[in-house]
Structure 1
Amino acid sequence: MEITHIPAGSRPANEIEEILAEVVAFDALINRASGLGDDFDPRADEVRQELLSPNEYTSHQTWIGRLGGAIVAKGIAYLTLQDNLDVADVWCAVHPDKRRQGFGAEMLTAMETSLVAQGRTQLTSYCENPESVRASEVRSAHLAAETGAGSLPAGQPDVAFLSHHGFAFKQLERCSVAKTAVAASLPHVELDPGYTIETWSGPTPEHRLEQIAWLHQKMSTDTPGAEEFGEEESWDAERVRALDEKRRKNRELLGTALALKGDSAAGFTEVAHFDERPAVGWQGSTLVAREHRGHGLGAALKIANHVALGESSRVERIYTWNAVENSWMLAINDRGGFETWAWVGLWKKRLA
């Protein structure tokens, strides 16, 4: 197999355009084989950005494996550039007709060799299994997450691959989906005295940049299992602006709800959506800071954001992910009309 390594920004735009349709088609093939459904198909803008556009905070590196000129394997690494400089979030896939022939192992070895040379010795990864797959294999051998909460069928190809290649199954997440129309009919959540919620569409307003930066930083410490997947991140107003600009280039539209106590941030939630797939929303960050928990803010934030999206966009359904041990957030999601769609395994590997 011939493997080509493409760090973001290392190739001219015209060269990327020549391979873009082929790479997107391969990603779509992998998604269809997973059984996750059309909503999870890749978007050309997103793949283009992964190949072309690093910024001072994040970058992607892509590996493409060809056999006889055709793509048979692909790998990608997501890298943060300001913190957690020894961490890489990686994913690789093999054409369904070419599995169990060693191409996945060859691709992963090439990725690991390159990443170690760059000082990235802590790898994280993930795998996704539709609810129907996990339910159909309830009687088969399962691999338990190290958190002690949840398991995945050990014989599933991606589970077996990651386990065989030295990744530890750290945590299980539930992927759920909710319809925005449901939010408008849900009971109103009364906020405790002193708390308010603001919603907006698009980039973060200038007067809220510091609050959103603080909450993003808290995301790296205040979520279940955060210590397993990296150290505390550093966020400021400029980093939030850079994230908003990255989203603009990706034609990513954002609906945000921010909870405040006075003028201090207490929690937030974000949902992204895209013009070319207007009915689908993707849950971004959601957090209630530790010191503000127990006041019903999680449910109030999500319901407020869903109602706002239902009024200002064409979003009909929203997908979200939560650790299964995060029982309070799962209860919030259930309260907000979410239903289980898939299960996601989070993995970690330390390289020498």
Structure 2
Amino acid sequence: MEITRIGSGLGDPAAIEALMPELLAFDTVVNRASGLGADFDPIPEDLRHSLTSTSRYRTTLTWIGRIDGVIVAKGVAELRLTSNTDTAEVWCGVHPDHRRRGLGSALLTVMENELRAEGRTALSSYCEIPESVRVAELRGAHLPTETGAGTLPVAVPEVAFLHRRGYGFAQIERCAVAPTATAAGLDLGADADDYVIETWRGPVPEQRLEHIALLKRRMSTDTPGAERFGGEESWDGERVSALDEEKKVRGEEMATALALLDGEPAGFTQVGHSADRPAVGWQGGTLVRREHRGHRLGARLKVANHRSLAERTAVERVYTWNAVENSWMLAINDQAGFSTWAWVGLWTKNRR
């Protein structure tokens, strides 16, 4: 297998554009084989952005494996550039027709060795298992997470692969989906407190940039299991604006709900939706600061944001992800009409 590496923004633009149809076809085949469904098919602008754009905060590396000129394997590494610069989030996939031949291991070995040589020694990865697949393997052996909360079937190839490659099964998340109208129609009753919830679509307003930056910093430390995937991330208003600009280039719009108490940020939630797939929403960050918990802010934020989506967009359903030990957020999502779609295993590997 011949392996080539592409650094985001470093390849020849014409060559990248010529490569796009082949990579889109490969990613689509891999996704359909996973059983996750058409909503998870690659979005062209997202793929193009990962190959052509970089920023001072994050960048992407892509490895392509070919046999006789045909793409049979692909790997991706997401790199942080201003904090946690020893980390990398990696993923690799093999075409269904070429599996069980060692190609995934060969590609991942190249990726790991190159990343380690560049100082990226704390690796993380993930695998997404549809609920139907997990249920089908309930009677077989299961691998527990390091937290003790949740398991995945050992017989699932993605689980076996990462376990065999020395990755520790750190955490599991539930991916759930709900009709936008369900949460939008919830009546949580009157709130006897002074919290104010603002909603908007598109870029973060200038007067809220530092508020969102603070909440994103806290996301990297306050969510369950965050310490396993790196330390606190550096966020400021400038980085929030830069992220908004990236999303605009990709044709993605964010719907945001922000909770304030006496003008100070208490929590937020965001949902992104793409012009390429307008009926589908993807949950971004959701956080209620520790000192503001116990006021149903998580539910109130999600309901407010879903109402905004229902009234102002074509989004019909939203997917969300939560750690299984995050029982309070799971309860909020259950109340909002979310049902399990898939399970996401989060894995870590340190190679110092």
- TMscore range, shorter length: over 0.9
Which structure 1 segments of 5+ residues have no match?
none
Alignment partner, residue 338 of structure 2: 338
Equivalent residues of 1:211, 1:264 under 8 A apart: yes
The letter for the 1-side match of 2:142 is: H
Change (3 A) 1:165 1:343: same
**1:295-321: CA deviations, max 9, x gaps?**
100000001100110000000000000
Equivalent residues of 2:185, 2:307 under 8 A apart: no
1:196 aligns with 2:196: yes
Percent identity (aligned) = 60
1:19 aligns with 2:27: no
State the shift of 1:192 in Å. 4.0
Q: In the aligned structure 1, how far is the partner of 2:112 from the partner of 2:82?
A: 21
SS in structure 1 of the partner of residue 89 of structure 2: strand
Q: In the aligned structure 1, how far is the partner of 2:180 from the partner of 2:108?
A: 39
**Where in structure 2 are the equivalents of 1:1-352 lying within 5 Å?**
1-352=1-352
The letter for the 1-side match of 2:235 is: W
Q: In the aligned structure 2, how far is the partner of 1:276 from the partner of 1:57?
A: 25
Q: In the aligned structure 2, how far is the partner of 1:218 from the partner of 1:18?
A: 41
Runs of 4+ residues deviating >6 angstroms: none
Q: In the aligned structure 1, how far is the partner of 2:157 from the partner of 2:193?
A: 51
SS in structure 1 of the partner of residue 190 of structure 2: coil
State the shift of 1:336 in Å. 1.1
**1:94-125: CA deviations, max 9, x gaps?**
11111110100110011011101110000000
The letter for the 2-side match of 1:262 is: D
Q: In the aligned structure 1, how far is the partner of 2:105 from the partner of 2:278?
A: 37
**1:230-249: CA deviations, max 9, x gaps?**
00011110010111011111
**1:8-43: CA deviations, max 9, x gaps?**
011121110010110111011000000000000001
Q: In the aligned structure 2, how far is the partner of 1:192 from the partner of 1:162?
A: 49
Q: In the aligned structure 2, how far is the partner of 1:307 from the partner of 1:106?
A: 47
The letter for the 1-side match of 2:120 is: R
The letter for the 2-side match of 1:152 is: L
TM-score relative to the length of structure 1:
0.99
State the shift of 1:49 in Å. 0.5
State the shift of 1:285 in Å. 0.5
The letter for the 1-side match of 2:132 is: S
The letter for the 2-side match of 1:328 is: W
SS in structure 1 of the partner of residue 63 of structure 2: strand
State the shift of 1:184 in Å. 3.2
**1:49-84: CA deviations, max 9, x gaps?**
001101000100000000010000000000110000
Equivalent residues of 1:79, 1:89 under 8 A apart: yes
SS in structure 1 of the partner of residue 210 of structure 2: helix
SS in structure 2 of the partner of residue 5 of structure 1: strand
